[in-house]
Amino acid sequence: MNRRIALFIFLTLWACSPDYSPKPTGYFYIHIDDHKYRLFSDCPQFEFNISTQVEVDKLTDFKTWTPNVKFDNKTVYQQWFNLIYPSLGAQLYCDYLPISSKNFAQISEECRKFAYLHVKKANAILTRNYANPEMRVYGLVYEIKGDVASPVQFVLTDSVKHFFRGALYFDNVSSQDSIAPVAEYIKEDIEMLIESFKWKK
């Protein structure tokens, strides 16, 4: 009888022993809807398709201009707006400005520097060219790998008089893995934006 009691106690203690094996990091489940798009044509200079999940935050009226930095001693005026994903905690910061042959190179360089501000935390910065000669839309996409606040930035231009820039930011970034599914989802929306982009003038 004593042997049975001893065996029972041993098996009970052995079965309840703590398991110290490491567990993978868990993240909250995020429900992501299928991609659906609508035309965004509020600005008189351009139009493109955006997700139906997006809310447009117009920081400036598209009929007015906000003065920005000076290029070649001339004040450059911009239009600012955000494409917000309320349920995903992300937003695409967008701005448009008119350009000329005199300031095009300088403005392009400023955008490149802005993307490379993340180089200290980035594992890599991948660049990809985009060209749609029929629509006079040419661009450059920066994909920034690592635990960075802005994993995707891009510029679109006709190289003559139009310049458009977008930068994706998340409200909270704990790690690249935590935002990976949402980032990949929004990257598809950015691809749609770029591929559907048209200048109106």
For the chain, what are the domain ranges?
56-199
DSSP category for residue 87: T
DSSP category for residue 33: P
pLDDT-based confidence at residue 1 (cuts at 50, 70, 90): low
**What is the C-alpha to C-alpha distance for residues 140 and 135, in angstroms, rounded to an integer?**
16
Strands (E), the chain: 37-40, 46-51, 55-58, 66-71, 74-85, 90-98, 122-132, 137-146, 152-157, 162-170, 198-199
DSSP category for residue 174: S
**What is the C-alpha to C-alpha distance for residues 96 and 83, in angstroms, rounded to an integer?**
14
Q: What is the pLDDT, as a whole number, of residue 26?
A: 46
Which residues touch 39 (CB under 8 Å, ≥6 apart)?
A: 47, 48, 49, 50
**What is the C-alpha to C-alpha distance for residues 51 and 63, in angstroms, rounded to an integer?**
24
Per residue in 166-186, pLDDT (tens digit) is: 999 998 765 666 778 899 999
For the chain, give the number of residues. Answer: 201
Above 90 in pLDDT, residue 82?
yes
Q: Which of 108, 93, 92 is nearest to 158 (CA)?
A: 108
What predicted TM-score, i.e. pTM, was given to this entire model? Answer: 0.79
